[in-house]
Structure 1
Amino acid sequence: MTVFKSNMEVAAPATVVADSLQSPNGDIRLLPSVKVPMRDGVNLSTDIYLPKGPGPFPIILIRTPYNKNIFRPVWVAQATSAAVLSCTAVTSSAQHQADAVPHLIAAGYAVVIQDRRGVYESEGGAYNQARPGRVDFEDTTKWLDAQPWSARRMGMHGCSALGNEQVLAAVTDTKSLKAITPNGVPGAIHSAPGFQHSGRASYRGGAFEFASMIDWISKTTNWMEATPDPNVDPVTWARFSHFFNLKPDYRIDVDKIMWELPLLGMLDRAGLPPTEWDTIVSNRPESSYWTDKDSELIKAGDNIYTPSLWLYNWNDYLSGEQIQSFQWAKDNASNATARDNQYLIMGPGYHCDLYKGGSENEKIDDLDPGDTRLPIWDIMLKWNDRWVKGDVHAFDGIPKVTYWLYGKNEWRTSTDMPVPGTRYRDLYLSSQKGANSTNGDGKLSFDRPNTDSRDTYRYDPADPVPTGGEHNWAISLRDQRPMDARNRNDVLVYTTEPLKEGLTVVGPIKMVLYVASSAVDTDFTGKLVDVYPDGRAIQLQLGILRVRYRSSFVKPEMMTPGKTYEITVELNATGNWFAPGHRIQLEVSSSNFPRFDRNLNTGGDGYTETEGVAAQNTVFSGPSTPSRLVLPIAPD
């Protein structure tokens, strides 16, 4: 196994006390790698951090597929009082999540961190993202409720997959679970009816999240794992586990692997350890794999039982559906307490960035938002004090919705999201000679065009429009001018005149297109851009629709070549003030690669195919085919 040197200063060692480790100041006691039994005999490895005192303690539970040991404080590894060598890779996101642990313990909470079934120190065979989650949560909670130090009152913490675990827990009607704080939730809820990001965030608009899933699946769901030596007791293992990484340590070069076809077997052919890749890539949105009786993702008929503080960032990859999740929780609450206590915070930045708390001089890609600070840890602590400890006034004065508004560069509050009083306004597409590339004459206008027009381009899956900027898990706030995509004839560009008055756009965005294709199936992509007076063209959001899913994600329908269809492409959500003098711009195409997989235009399954065909795709505009961008204009 690889060993890396650390520059951390040597701290005072922990004290070994029976089956536990005690922090140098005596305020924290760690019961490491406790085996918590599930109903099928599988044991899940669980770290238990107890505050000083006899208890009982309210609990914050974290369930993770990313290695519970990265949450361990430095003093755990330094129980030898020697310099620590560490090979546990701790990302910025993981570190900010781990930062919560000492604060929660200091506030009197026991913190319980568990490796999910099938990963790292937990038993259970190969990791499976859709199975099981709810049952293991229920069994874990039953075990925790029986412990003498437990107050039988619990909250949860964590971002991304850790947030996903919270949503699965909240639909189980577990009496001791009092509230959740899901951050950056990627997918459990999105298999519910009405969501367009299906298959646990694997598919968006029916297209496969190609680059993101290569990165995530290859590292998280690979099935090659070492396990701790059973002859080494948990305390000794905890003291030295920082020396070891129980998974293969590698990073995929997406640029080198992305042209490989077929998708099925791609990671095997690249020589990587076995993963869940083939299962996910071969179960398209309509597959019953995501919704059958063995799947524990959210289904029709599920209800949420707990108050929830939903946390997200505008430029995370699912901001539109995070707002939808917030509304879903209210609409599907099982009781008045849950319904009336759904809260939402939408911050600037990317996946899990809210945990950073902002900064005084924030810079995000090519934007300088300024002072983005928000006391997020204080807010979350007040939330847990209200619901987990039962202090009825702890969360008084916190608004139902708090959101960042780019452009104005300020935090705003609301009673709901979308903001009450929001008007949905149409910006109509049109052109005279053609909207192809930034050299065309494509226009966006609030006035409906008087004459019909059409813009046609050739989409060749062998020469897709490059993503540029970012490949995964983000919608970058980058200047689009350097991107080759804007100068291609297979990208249609529609732009308003400079705005005379500012426009405040807050909430989900969509484009409605009238389209036709020479193929039986193809994709249409969109990108929302804010064009500054100095020429900067800052991407705000993007989206895609695989046209076979235009009516349903469970009943795909092929196109009739040459026939015109009305389609809706979701473009996620944003909070942006378009200042006077700025221009609103929309890019339309049929690929965004390697962000999304290429539609080969054949109508095939997309994962066993090795050849595609070029398609002539057309976007119609005018009075009879009013293609348009639909913006949520909030009161200023």
Structure 2
Amino acid sequence: MISMPRLLTACALAALVAATTAPATAQNYDERPAKMAPRDVGYDYVRKVVEIPMRDGVKLHTVIIVPKGAKDAGILMTRTPYDADGQTKVDSGTYAGILEHGDGAGDVIAAAGYIRVIQDVRGMHASEGIYMMNPARAGTAQNPTKTDDSTDTYDTIDWLVKHVPESNGRVGISGISYDGFLPLMALINPHPALKVSVPMNPMVDGWRGDDWFHNGAFREGMMPYILGQEATKDAGTPWITDTADDYDYYLKGGSAGAIGKAQGLEQLGFWRKITQHPAYDSFWSSQAMDTVLAGQPLKVPTLIVGGLWDQEDIYGAPAVYRALEPKDTANDMVYLSMGPWYHGQEVRDGSALGAVKWDADTAKWWRWHVLAPFLAHYLKSDQPAMDVAPVTMFQSGRNEWQKLDKWPTAPAAGTPLYLKPGGALGFQTTGGAATTADYISDPAAPVSYRVRPTLPTYASGSTWKQWLVDDQRAVSGRPDVLTFTTDALTTPTTVAGVPEVNLTASTSGTDSDWVVKLIDVYPDVNPGDKAMAGYQLSVAMDIFRGRYREDLAVAKPIAANVPLKYKFALPTTNHVFLPGHKIMVQVQSSWFPLYDRNPQTFVPNIFFAQPKDYVRATQKVTVSGADESFISLPLVR
């Protein structure tokens, strides 16, 4: 007779043998729950996720954050291609804490107690539907569908005011960059509940001077963004190179088209559109948001926000203001704010930009003295009075804010600042016979847009945000960069508006780029900030592709060795050149690798230029005589 303990042991051994010899079966036990319920005990907000249906049945993923106890609260919405869930991660039990992930001035929003809404645009991240980069209006050649960001915004607002009982039915929309383009689209046939729009650093015209081109020169530094943004729904495709310095990578890669092919960009619809439309044809001009909004009724109060040193979308904010302001006959619907900021710095610390210090946190001041009262006036039910000027502009040099009725403050007729022989610069014309300042532009050794090594734009350690204030001494001694400088100033010189380049120049090639920079040269001895001694601070600079000299929409060869006139605007500035400082102008013909190289031989499409097309060219800039080159400055007398 077997004892009970021995029997149990035998059974256990048999079971063990069976377990090790029997065929494996799928596990049906998991320690994780099918869906983890959020732990929100003690949180001072409620986070809701809804899929809001659009008019065509597509559902857009939307996160709604409601402060606990909210009642009769305004709604502030941001629509984004940059992951609504990621911008509202639940890693804080406080309303202010959860808002820290986004770019929406969380300090101001939390203090006011607005209901925060973040929505994935159609086709991105958790939203349904197809995706098009910056889709144009529905029913156009650029967007043959029946929906766009205007209709999606309308449908979203309509749902929110009907389904968010804590709201007062007043909705605002704000955002930065691409998210700043979307508040502009909301102004087309706006929903009646839309009470305010705040486009910050908006993408407005991708050809004239925002993300993709500047005056026809392609910003190949944005190619990694295009790949990452459009290749997959989760925007997770990396730009991979085997070269530490972007200057070397793009130089050995050849044309932008060749580099794009190597990275697989030809699979992307937006890349194909860019390469098929290198000129400012109707594809670009018809969807430029300043032009679109100029043809729309002015129905929604709008605060347009820009950065004077915006390294990505420096064109958009002033362009939209110029388009809308003439419609604002009572001067109470269109507002403009521009600070000394990089792209989106208004919602971060604004005490400095690179080496340049502003004597205060300019962004914090603006958020609490402009943005907060502006939003409160339009989103709170009692609509508290606000003391916000139609124009709030930071004046660099003096480093102070100005409250203005209009912009610009300078007279419409600019004051010529002449390029002179011997590298001189002054307000009096040289006269006499025509003479030139010459240099050789070599595509094999282009002028770098910043000190090398040039890290990839979004790489760890990249200082991309501050490149517009980099010290221009890095290139001012190059033989292919012309430098013109005034004597030390004895009185303040204030520039407030848009400087305009009037360049007379010839090239031995049949195409050419022209880069012109307006620079503030600090004194060699600068006791208040020794790091700025001799610093060459760019005030405004830009590039122009010569093939569009006659017509932005049609590329034409340049007549070789013939002095021709080039006229183009530099970005908006509001700067005081102080006594003891000097004014400098630099001229060059490449700005690499941010902008693709001009082969300096005319080809139908520079995206597909071949190695043989890239040639050296002798550039001659006229610096005396009847056609002396000059910069027309918007001087405030």
TM-score if structure 1 supplies the norm length? 0.80
- 2:157 matched residue in structure 1: 141
- 1:548 matched residue in structure 2: 547
Instruction: Summarize deviations over 1:246-276 as a string: whole Å, max 9, x none.
Output: 7245676634531213422524413689544
The 5-angstrom pairing of residues 496-507 of structure 1 reads 496-507=486-497
- TM superposition shift of 1:315: 0.7
- TM superposition shift of 1:631: 1.6
- 1:83 matched residue in structure 2: none
In 2, distance between residues paired with 1:98 and 1:322? 17
What SS does the aligned partner of 1:114 have?
strand
Q: Rg larger in 1 or in 2? A: 2
Answer yes or no: is 1:463 the counterpart of 2:445. yes
- TM superposition shift of 1:600: 1.2
Contact 1:223 1:274 in 2 (8 A): no
The 5-angstrom pairing of residues 252-267 of structure 1 reads 254-259=246-251, 260-264=253-257, 266-267=259-260
The 5-angstrom pairing of residues 596-615 of structure 1 reads 596-604=595-603, 605-611=605-611, 612-615=614-617
- 1:230 matched residue in structure 2: none
- TM superposition shift of 1:114: 0.5
Amino acid in the other structure paired with 1:266: I
Answer yes or no: is 1:630 the counterpart of 2:615. no
- TM superposition shift of 1:313: 1.7
Answer yes or no: is 1:417 the counterpart of 2:411. no
Contact 2:373 2:388 in 1 (8 A): no
In 2, distance between residues paired with 1:265 and 1:504? 45
Instruction: Summarize deviations over 1:157-198 as a string: whole Å, max 9, x none.
Output: 2211111101111132322211111111122xx26xxx832x
**How many pairs are equivalent?**
557
- TM superposition shift of 1:381: 2.6
Per mean C-alpha deviation after superposition, the further-off stretch among 255-264 and 114-123 is 255-264
Give the alignment's Cα RMSD to 1 decimal.
Answer: 3.2
Answer yes or no: is 1:279 the counterpart of 2:248. no
Contact 1:372 1:410 in 2 (8 A): no
- 1:168 matched residue in structure 2: 185
- TM superposition shift of 1:125: 3.2
- 1:157 matched residue in structure 2: 174
- 1:307 matched residue in structure 2: 301
Cα 1:251–1:224, aligned 2, differ >3 Å: closer, same or farther?
A: farther
- TM superposition shift of 1:45: 0.8
Contact 2:354 2:466 in 1 (8 A): no
The 5-angstrom pairing of residues 347-366 of structure 1 reads 347-356=339-348, 358=350, 362-366=351-355
TM-score if structure 2 supplies the norm length? 0.79
- 1:442 matched residue in structure 2: 423
In 1, distance between residues paired with 2:336 and 2:237? 37
Cα 1:625–1:473, aligned 2, differ >3 Å: closer, same or farther?
A: farther
Cα 1:607–1:422, aligned 2, differ >3 Å: closer, same or farther?
A: closer
Instruction: Summarize deviations over 1:71-124 as a string: whole Å, max 9, x none.
Output: 21544799xxxxxxxxxxx9xx98462552x75355342211101122111122
In 1, distance between residues paired with 2:277 and 2:305? 29
Contact 1:291 1:297 in 2 (8 A): no
Answer yes or no: is 1:186 the counterpart of 2:242. no
Answer yes or no: is 1:45 the counterpart of 2:50. no
Cα 1:22–1:565, aligned 2, differ >3 Å: closer, same or farther?
A: farther
- 1:247 matched residue in structure 2: 236
In 2, distance between residues paired with 1:138 and 1:322? 23
- 1:8 matched residue in structure 2: none
Cα 1:586–1:168, aligned 2, differ >3 Å: closer, same or farther?
A: same
Cα 1:216–1:525, aligned 2, differ >3 Å: closer, same or farther?
A: same
Cα 1:552–1:77, aligned 2, differ >3 Å: closer, same or farther?
A: farther
- 1:479 matched residue in structure 2: 471
What SS does the aligned partner of 1:375 have?
helix
Contact 2:414 2:635 in 1 (8 A): yes
What SS does the aligned partner of 1:172 have?
coil
- 1:222 matched residue in structure 2: 231
Answer yes or no: is 1:124 the counterpart of 2:129. yes
In 2, distance between residues paired with 1:496 and 1:296? 39
Identity %: 26
- 2:310 matched residue in structure 1: 316
Stretches (4+) displaced over 6 A = none
- 1:13 matched residue in structure 2: none
- 1:289 matched residue in structure 2: 283
In 2, distance between residues paired with 1:109 and 1:584? 46
- 2:332 matched residue in structure 1: 340
- In terms of fraction of residues, the more helix-rich structure is 2
Mind listing any 5+ residue stretches in structure 1 that lack a counterpart?
1-15, 79-89, 226-245, 432-440
- TM superposition shift of 1:329: 1.5
In 1, distance between residues paired with 2:448 and 2:266? 28
Match of 1:72 among 75, 79, 88: 88
In 1, distance between residues paired with 2:86 and 2:266? 22
Amino acid in the other structure paired with 1:607: F
What SS does the aligned partner of 2:598 have?
coil
Answer yes or no: is 1:97 the counterpart of 2:96. no
Answer yes or no: is 1:518 the counterpart of 2:517. no
Cα 1:340–1:623, aligned 2, differ >3 Å: closer, same or farther?
A: farther
